[in-house]
Amino acid sequence: MKRKPTVLSLFSVAGGMDLGFIQAGFDIIWANDFVEDCVKTYSRNINDHIILGDITKIPNSQIPSSADIVIGGFPCQGFSIANPNRKLTGMEDQRNFLYKEMLRVIKHSQPKYFI
């Protein structure tokens, strides 16, 4: 039996991107979001492998150390031109730095691909 490619999912929200990967034959082995309602929806509709918590506070030791793919859509509201208020928060918007958490997980898990 052929092994399904494994996926780590960051900023998973309710699991829209994850569902697409599952339907394409991938195995989501770990997911994370910090919004409780999103995690409840994900758990109910996809699986309970999602972790509720702030990714900046989750140590590498609690994240699988290998996966074929890392996926995630880190928040862009702080720097997106679609946000007319972005200039009000500027560099103080901590969401602007969450891409670093994605880089940390990619470095930690050494996937073949990341999205």
Among residues 74, 76, 86, 106, the one annotated as catalytic is 76
This prediction has a pTM of 0.86
38 is catalytic: no
Place of tokens 């910090």: 34
- For residues 60-64, give the mean pLDDT: 97
The whole-number pLDDT of residue 48 equals 93
Helix or strand or coil: residue 84? coil
Which residues are registered as beta bridge partners of 71? 9
- Confidence band for 94, pLDDT divided at 50, 70 and 90: confident
- For residues 14-22, give the mean pLDDT: 96
Q: Is 11 in contact with 98 (CB distance < 8 Å)? A: yes
